């Protein structure tokens, strides 16, 4: 009540445009948090699952809601048609539009572009949720719902940060643009093409790109300066023209499955060392400065172990564990298709089997080179087996890693904003996973990019009981409001 009275007074004081005042913004955000939670509830209620063709109307509706929100805020909006999607069954369905919005176009100000997505992963009560996934439910300060953390609350936090400036008649410190898509969870179909096409249009005046589609590492705020890429392979071994009975033929034929498993065993040794020549050699050296970043990070090895439910890890120290998740390549074997006797005790010799594995990419690895290295190596290893079976290796995804310079002014601004809202130095972290759009923005626009997360370390993205804490949502909105000001100070000191 007292705060509200103070506001009206302040509002009366500013006859036209008020000057920046972070405390006023913070107070405004605090006093509007119930509204923000209600909006998040409305957004989470839309089942904008991009992987489910039956939910495509809901996804379209979500894009419309996003566009309407920007229009209500008097943004200059646009919707980009990015074509259709062909489903595996041949059916053609429309892709959701990409929505853009601009607030301000003052050429004396810097322009930031915020990327986000409003599609979500699938979720059903039967998957083991404790609450209805599309009914935002608050328990002990956590807001449970599919898409709450990934990525609806962060998108809304940015929107509310801009709204707070508008409501207080505070001049936006920078021009703010948004680019919001609806296909992120299924590979951002059509987005790369749109970004390339809009390079000299929508992106022509953009100075900085901000992505808030990841999370902190601990309870401490973080800035993210790198993501790993990914090269995903299929290795198919084809043998006899049909499956065979192991009692009748076993002992006389070269079995595709035995060839394939032998081959997989040559990829990586038991201590995690990748055996493909050229892979480890391509990895950028760890510098002294970088090593120091790892020392400063808050990370509890025991907690990490407990969360996974394992008794042992490949490495013992925080620095080793984090660096092997973020700045070294890793090779994972995901499964084998064609292994029909997966259940029961069928005594079959499968005629054709396909292994799936992937190698997470880090600087300075290059996916086309990795493709050649892996293919050559597997063919050589296969030749040594002297088998008549046929091997076919294909790379189906080749996503590059992304890395920012932590001394870039965008990161300096990020540290200042975190200090002003949370009173601590942020952890400087990387993501082990892949966010391909970061690299696309970097390659196409050549602008600096920052990942500024507000999600918690335990938000359960893509999993059951996804949540966003009310604290992270509201304080995150303040962080974004503060960040817009800090970015405007770049080149001014
Ligand atoms: C630039 O801003 C002015 C004032 O808000 C507005 O009238 C105009 O349409 C804007 N132009 C563009 C291209 O956004
Ligand atoms: C959402 O959950 C609340 C309880 O948290 C319940 O009262 C309400 O009926 C639910 N709404 C829907 C649409 O299921
Ligand atoms: Zn996401």
83: exposed, middle or buried (C-beta count within 10 Å: 0-12, 13-18, 19+)?
A: exposed
132 CB less than 6 Å from ligand 2? yes
Separation of CA 116 and ligand 3 centre (Å): 8
pLDDT value at position 492?
77
Contact of 491 with 409, CB cutoff 8 Å: yes
Kindly tell me if the per-residue pLDDT of 6 is higher than 80: no
> Separation of 137 CA from ligand 2 center, angstroms?
8
The reply to whether ligand 2 has any atom less than 6 angstroms from the CB of 488 is no
How many degrees, rounded to 5, is the angle at CA 246 between CA 240 and CA 249?
Answer: 55
Among residues 490, 483, 449, 454, which one has the least CA distance to residue 225?
A: 449
Cβ neighbours of residue 209 under 8 Å, at least 6 residues apart? 112, 113, 114, 115, 441, 445, 447, 448, 449, 450
3-state secondary structure 187-256: CCCCHHHHHHHCCCCCCCCCCEEEECCCECCCCCCEEEEEECEEEEEEEEEECCCCCEEHHHHCCCCCCH
Give backbone dihedrals phi and psi of 269, rounded to 5 degrees, phi first.
-95, 180
Instruction: Give me the catalytic one of 58, 67, 119, 243.
Output: 119
Q: What is the 8-class DSSP label of residue 150?
A: I
**Which ligand sits closest to the CA of 138?**
2
CA distance 359 to 186: 19
The DSSP output letter for 492 is -
Query: Residue 166 above 50 pLDDT?
Result: yes
Known catalytic membership, residue 119: yes
34/56 Cα distance (integer angstroms): 30
Q: Which ligand is nearest the CA of 125, by number?
A: 2
Under a CB-based contact definition with an 8 Å cutoff, are residues 194 and 395 in contact? Answer: no
137 lines ligand 2 (CB under 6 A): yes
Nearest-atom number in ligand 1 for the CA of 102 is 14
Report d(CA 187, CA 293) in Å as an integer: 31
Q: 């966003």: which residue's tokens? A: 468
Pocket test for ligand 1, best of 76, 100, 104 (most atoms within 8 A of CB): 76
* Residue-wise pLDDT tens digits, 68-110: 999 999 999 999 999 999 988 899 999 999 999 999 999 999 9
Q: Which atom of ligand 2 is nearest to the CA of 135?
A: 1
Ligand 2 atom at minimum distance from 137 CA: 5
The label of the residue with tokens 């090895």 reads: 301
Which residue, by CA, sits nearest to atom 10 of ligand 1?
105
Which residue ranges form the domains of the chain, and what is each CATH number? 22-227+401-488 (3.40.630.10), 232-284+327-399 (3.30.70.360)
Q: How close is the Cα of 67 to the center of ligand 1, in Å?
A: 17
Looking at residue 14, its pLDDT comes to: 66
Judged against a pLDDT cut of 60, whether residue 12 lies above it is answered with no
Assigned token pair, 422:
């949370």
Residue 71 CA to ligand 1 center (angstroms) comes to 14
Q: Which of 449, 434, 309 is CA-nearest to residue 365?
A: 434
Give the number of other CB atoms < 10 A from CB of residue 44: 26
For residue 76, what are the β-bridge partners? 102
**Closest atom of ligand 1 relative to the 105 alpha carbon:** 1
Q: Residue with the nearest Cα to atom 2 of ligand 1?
A: 105
Is residue 42 part of the annotated active site? The answer reads no
Ligand that comes closest to the CA of residue 139: 2
What burial class does residue 60 get, using C-beta atoms within 10 Å of its C-beta: 0-12 exposed, 13-18 middle, 19+ buried?
A: middle
* Structure confidence at residue 188 as a pLDDT band (50, 70, 90): very high
Q: Can you read off the two tokens belonging to residue 12?
A: 């009366």
The string of pLDDT tens digits covering residues 329-381 is 999 999 999 876 556 778 899 999 999 999 999 999 999 999 999 999 999 99
DSSP character for 281?
Answer: G
């Amino acid at each position: 009540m007292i705060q509200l009275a103070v506001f009206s007074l302040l509002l009366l004081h500013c006859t036209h445009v008020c000057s920046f005042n972070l405390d006023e913004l913070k107070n405004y955000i605090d006093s509007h948090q119930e509204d923000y939670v209600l909006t998040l509830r409305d957004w989470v209620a839309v089942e904008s699952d991009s992987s489910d063709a039956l939910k495509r109307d809901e996804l379209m509706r979500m894009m419309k809601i996003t566009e309407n929100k920007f229009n209500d805020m008097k943004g200059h909006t646009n919707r980009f048609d990015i074509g259709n999607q062909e489903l595996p069954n041949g059916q053609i369905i429309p892709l959701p539009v990409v929505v853009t919005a601009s607030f301000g176009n003052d050429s004396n100000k810097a322009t930031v572009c915020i990327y986000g997505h409003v599609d979500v992963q699938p979720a059903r009560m039967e998957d083991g949720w404790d609450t209805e996934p599309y009914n935002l439910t608050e328990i002990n300060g956590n807001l449970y719902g599919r898409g709450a953390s990934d990525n609806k609350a962060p998108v809304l936090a940015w929107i509310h940060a801009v709204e707070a400036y508008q409501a207080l008649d505070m001049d936006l410190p920078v021009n703010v643009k948004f680019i919001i898509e609806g296909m992120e969870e299924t590979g951002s179909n059509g987005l790369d093409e749109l970004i390339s096409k809009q390079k000299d249009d929508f992106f022509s005046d953009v100075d900085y790109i901000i992505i808030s589609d990841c999370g902190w590492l601990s309870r401490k705020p973080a800035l993210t300066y790198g993501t790993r890429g990914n090269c995903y392979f299929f290795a198919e071994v084809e043998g006899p023209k049909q499956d065979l009975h192991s009692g009748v033929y076993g002992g006389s034929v070269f079995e595709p499955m035995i060839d394939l498993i032998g081959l997989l065993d040559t990829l990586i040794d038991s201590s995690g060392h990748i055996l493909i020549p050229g892979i480890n050699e391509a990895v950028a050296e760890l510098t002294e400065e970088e090593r120091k970043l790892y020392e400063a990070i808050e990370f509890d090895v025991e907690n990490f172990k407990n969360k996974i439910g394992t008794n042992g890890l490949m490495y013992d120290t925080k620095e080793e564990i984090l660096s092997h998740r973020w700045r070294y390549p890793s090779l994972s074997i995901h499964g084998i298709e064609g292994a029909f006797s997966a259940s029961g005790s069928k005594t079959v010799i499968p005629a054709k089997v396909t292994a799936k594995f992937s190698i997470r990419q880090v600087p300075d690895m290059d996916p086309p080179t990795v493709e050649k290295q892996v293919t050559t190596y597997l063919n050589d290893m296969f030749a040594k087996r002297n088998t008549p079976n046929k091997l076919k290796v294909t790379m189906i995804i080749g996503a590059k890693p992304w890395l920012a310079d932590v001394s870039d002014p965008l990161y300096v601004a990020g540290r200042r904003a975190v200090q002003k809202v949370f009173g601590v130095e942020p952890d400087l972290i990387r993501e082990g996973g892949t966010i391909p759009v970061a690299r696309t923005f970097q390659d196409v626009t050549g602008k600096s990019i920052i990942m500024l997360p507000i999600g918690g370390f335990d938000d359960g993205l893509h999993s059951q009981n996804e949540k966003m804490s009310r604290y992270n949502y509201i304080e995150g909105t303040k962080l974004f409001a503060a960040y817009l000001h800090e970015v405007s100070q770049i080149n001014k000191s």
